[in-house]
Structure 1
Amino acid sequence: MTDSGVRKYAVVLTFLLVASACSNGMETTTTAAPITAPVPPAPVVATLIGQADQPMAMVNRPNSDGFFLAEREGRIRTGDISGNGSLIVGETVLDLTEWITTTGEGGLLGLTISKTGHELFVNYTGTDWVSRVSAYPLVDGRPVTGKEGGRPLLEVAQPFSNHNGGHLLIDGDGHLLVGFGDGGLAGDPWGHGQDTSTLLGAILRINPTAVDGRPYQIPLDNPFVDDHSGTRPEILAYGLRNPWRFDLDPSTGDLWIADVGQDHFEEIDFLPAVHYTVGADFGWKFMEGTREFAGSANDGHRIPVHEYFHGNDGRCSIIGGVIVRAGNLEGLDGAFLYSDFCDGRIRALLPDGSDWADHDLGAVVELPVSFSRASDGTIYVLSATGGIFRLDSLGSPN
């Protein structure tokens, strides 16, 4: 492992310690297409509103302003905003700790709610080092517990203890997006990032409805639904190292991905919704960001809309990210918010003519691990320290 690889591994250890205290016929589109003039964003403050045990993900409960909150060890708890704006973390409504490992980068890593509000989906690392995506029925807004793992949707073996991915999202059609890393270690030794016969190193898109004994269906507009070369039809995008977190723009359906880098570069990738039928190869491990890493990239691979170098500014591992829509953050509509695990600074990628500008918003969250956008547009940041923070605008930059 290179020095940078050792550094990245050390970051993972830091997380654990602190938390306990694609492609034929593809179009080459290099960037999203900003169409608005830059508007200086207002500074942002991160306000601590609650505390949980290693929070990993937070989503609104169905027909409620309250939340489900996933804790890394395997508990899903309720969260409700009080009259003074604090988050009251309440009872455990689902406990999967018996079946989850938190070794390495394992744990309960993602959760989301079906479009109908009738199912809760979870993504966790099993004690046998198999990533499992399962569904639990929701009755009166609460998961109905039963046998281990609920209704199984996907099982993917993890060869190493890092790069599990784990994020889950529901798109506008009610399809489930699932993120998996390349399976781990340094440099993708098994080549999963470019191997479309595996579900690793990819973002998947499935219809989570069970039909005729099959746990899920393949959306007919998936890019590889008619591919007979061995490519998995679940794949929406591949060539990803560790898409730890990603987001769908609620206004456009465009996909924004924060992909954790290897030795030098962290990157933000973009796939417009109109290209879902084409799919995307984001280049790993041929490319790390816009630089060659191991070999030469395929024709038509997509380059990041933004990257940054592991220099002397204290950054090490990108933590994405959400698109701002509505909410209370001035001058940030349409921005992609993200941070870095090591420096914790909250940043925004905003349109700047024909390019994108990176803005430091002034707020800092120690050891951020995830973002959450509530149904009212409010943005929250979850920290490995246990803190749950709300982002607020400090006022007009003028």
Structure 2
Amino acid sequence: MSRLSSLALTPFLLSFSGLILAVPDDQPVEITQPPAVPPLEIPEEVLGGIGLHHLKFDREFDSPVTLATLPEGQGEQVIALQRGEFCAVRLDGSGQWRPFLDFRQRMAGITMFEEGVHGIAFHPQFETNRLFYLSYTQNEPRRTVISEMRATPGDMPTALPESERVLLEIQQPLADHWGGHIHFGPDGLLYIALGDGGLRNDPYRLAQNPWVLHGKILRLDINARTGKLPYGIPADNPFANDQLSRPEIYALGLRNPWGLSFDSQTGHLWCADVGQDLWEEINLIKKGANYGWSDRDGPAETAFHPGPLLANTATTDPVHAYTRLRGEGICIVGGLLYRGENMPALQGTFLFADWGFGTVWALEMDDLNERATRRLVVHRKPDAMKFNPTLLTSDAQGEPVLLSQEGNLYRLEYSEEIASQ
């Protein structure tokens, strides 16, 4: 599964005789003085009456990583699979799907847990220019690729691989923490979430280094050109005129961001960030903000760096963080601010999930102070259920859809059967 790493092979262990954490993509690490278990900061309650509805197809979608709506008004979404297959699907229960792009030959030999396809996003003017954008990885050298491609005209477009134009390549030091989700904002600009490049503790301090793109949210104007760059630097990017920073950076201090989404009412940008040993966090991304990694993890300072990389660095705490110390989960999956119409009980809550535990939550918010006030359990995975969510996103109507690693797609919706229990 893309970027959610080796959880499938690495158990999560807690031993308070000397805390041992076997965590995603890392070897077990012994901490001789176990950290105190923090109290739950907000109440948690179970919300009944809402459940997962399995969308049946005549195939499984192996390791789906993201879903993007085709802006044609034809009711199709394109699902991207980690190993290079893209399918246009209908989420209306009909089970219809068709090929959109076959990138599997390009992905040949890309087999490590976080390598592969990470994102797809359609240009806001796709109906006239037929452009869409991809995020994926390549080797020799190991790198993240952001590219532009065209699709055929008509109501059922398919990709034209020969039209690909590479916009950006970011060399990666290690095969972990790629991030890679991409999304167009309401401003028409392309946002790109990149991880810190991997292994434990951000050993190269890349997430805090303003001269590299790792561990950052980038913001590009793909309709313009700056100098000889194949894209434009928005004039209001926070570091556009700072010679000490990369001008593409919109926000920094992230470890392994997964699940970019914009609130359809406010335009706010949300991002879940997978933690290391202790914390999983949700961030409300703001221009120029620093979210702390790897000086901080979740709401706490890290023990493995003696001090901040840059002096006098101001950081922004997450909107919400949950911890492995309480057994709440081990790998966060974003995420959207619900503005749909079918489930009034969830209106205005932030929906997210945990890959390892298969739990789905709704986070009630204090919008004024931008903090969580209550966490609602929407779904807990039964022991016999194969459900490891890789993304919680939405269809064209804003209704929640979940992708699961084993190849299934689900809707989150009102369930009379659950409500009557």
TM over 0.5: yes
The residue correspondences of 1:163-178 to structure 2 (distance < 5 A) are 163-178=177-192
Q: Is the 8 A contact 1:43 1:362 kept in 2?
A: no
User: Letter of the aligned partner of 2:375 in structure 1?
Assistant: D
Q: Show CA shifts across 1:148-172 (max 9, x none).
A: x811111011111110101010001
- Indicate which of 103, 107, 128 corresponds to 2:116: 107
Instruction: Confirm whether residue 146 of structure 1 aligns to residue 146 of structure 2.
Output: no
CA distance in structure 2 between the partners assigned to 1:109 and 1:146 by the alignment: 17
User: Letter of the aligned partner of 1:9 in structure 2?
Assistant: D
Q: Show CA shifts across 1:294-332 (max 9, x none).
A: 244554210011111112526111111111112422221
Please state how far the C-alpha of 1:336 moved relative to its aligned partner: 1.1
Q: What is the match of residue 80 of structure 1?
A: 90
Q: What is the match of residue 388 of structure 2?
A: 367
CA distance in structure 2 between the partners assigned to 1:352 and 1:343 by the alignment: 26
Q: Is the 8 A contact 1:99 1:127 kept in 2?
A: no
- Indicate which of 14, 25, 36 corresponds to 1:9: 25
CA distance in structure 2 between the partners assigned to 1:361 and 1:352 by the alignment: 19
User: Letter of the aligned partner of 1:135 in structure 2?
Assistant: E
Q: Give the TM-score normalised by the residue count of structure 2.
A: 0.80
Please state how far the C-alpha of 1:78 moved relative to its aligned partner: 1.2
Q: Show CA shifts across 1:262-304 (max 9, x none).
A: 1111111113xxx53xx11000000001111124455421001
Q: What is the match of residue 149 of structure 2?
A: 136
Moved more, 182-191 or 357-366: 357-366
The structure having more radius of gyration, on CA atoms, is 2
Q: Which has the higher contact order (CA 8 A, sep 6+)?
A: 1
Q: What is the match of residue 34 of structure 1?
A: none
- Indicate which of 52, 76, 98 corresponds to 1:90: 98
CA distance in structure 1 between the partners assigned to 2:95 and 2:375 by the alignment: 30
CA distance in structure 1 between the partners assigned to 2:362 and 2:220 by the alignment: 30
Q: 1:349 to 1:300 in 2, by over 3 A?
A: same
Q: What is the match of residue 6 of structure 2?
A: none
Percent identity of equivalent pairs: 30
Secondary structure of the structure 2 residue equivalent to 1:337: strand
Q: 1:4 to 1:152 in 2, by over 3 A?
A: farther
Q: Is the 8 A contact 2:151 2:160 kept in 1?
A: no
Secondary structure of the structure 1 residue equivalent to 2:23: helix
Q: Is the 8 A contact 1:345 1:363 kept in 2?
A: yes
Instruction: Confirm whether residue 120 of structure 1 aligns to residue 141 of structure 2.
Output: no
Please state how far the C-alpha of 1:41 moved relative to its aligned partner: 5.9
Please state how far the C-alpha of 1:42 moved relative to its aligned partner: 5.5
Instruction: Confirm whether residue 358 of structure 1 aligns to residue 375 of structure 2.
Output: yes
Q: Show CA shifts across 1:164-187 (max 9, x none).
A: 101010001111010110000111
- Give the aligned length: 362
Secondary structure of the structure 2 residue equivalent to 1:193: coil
Q: Is the 8 A contact 1:46 1:363 kept in 2?
A: no
Q: Is the 8 A contact 2:257 2:274 kept in 1?
A: yes
Secondary structure of the structure 1 residue equivalent to 2:133: strand
Moved more, 182-191 or 312-321: 312-321
Please state how far the C-alpha of 1:352 moved relative to its aligned partner: 4.9
Q: Is the 8 A contact 2:47 2:377 kept in 1?
A: no
Please state how far the C-alpha of 1:360 moved relative to its aligned partner: 0.8
- Indicate which of 254, 259, 262 corresponds to 1:245: 259
CA distance in structure 2 between the partners assigned to 1:223 and 1:327 by the alignment: 36
Instruction: Confirm whether residue 67 of structure 1 aligns to residue 71 of structure 2.
Output: no
Secondary structure of the structure 2 residue equivalent to 1:311: helix
User: Letter of the aligned partner of 2:391 in structure 1?
Assistant: S
Q: What is the match of residue 218 of structure 1?
A: 233
Please state how far the C-alpha of 1:81 moved relative to its aligned partner: 3.5
Please state how far the C-alpha of 1:213 moved relative to its aligned partner: 5.4
Q: Is the 8 A contact 2:353 2:392 kept in 1?
A: no
Secondary structure of the structure 2 residue equivalent to 1:59: strand
CA distance in structure 1 between the partners assigned to 2:392 and 2:405 by the alignment: 12
Q: Is the 8 A contact 1:52 1:89 kept in 2?
A: no
Instruction: Confirm whether residue 378 of structure 1 aligns to residue 399 of structure 2.
Output: yes
Moved more, 49-58 or 165-174: 49-58
Q: What is the match of residue 282 of structure 1?
A: 291
Q: 1:146 to 1:368 in 2, by over 3 A?
A: closer
- Indicate which of 32, 45, 56 corresponds to 2:51: 45
Q: 1:309 to 1:40 in 2, by over 3 A?
A: closer
**RMSD, aligned α-carbons:** 2.7
CA distance in structure 1 between the partners assigned to 2:299 and 2:86 by the alignment: 38
Q: 1:4 to 1:381 in 2, by over 3 A?
A: farther
User: Letter of the aligned partner of 2:241 in structure 1?
Assistant: D
Q: Is the 8 A contact 1:4 1:264 kept in 2?
A: no
- Indicate which of 379, 392, 397 corresponds to 2:413: 392
Q: Show CA shifts across 1:207-243 (max 9, x none).
A: 11253753110111111111112x1111111100010
Q: What is the match of residue 343 of structure 1?
A: 357
CA distance in structure 2 between the partners assigned to 1:5 and 1:185 by the alignment: 15
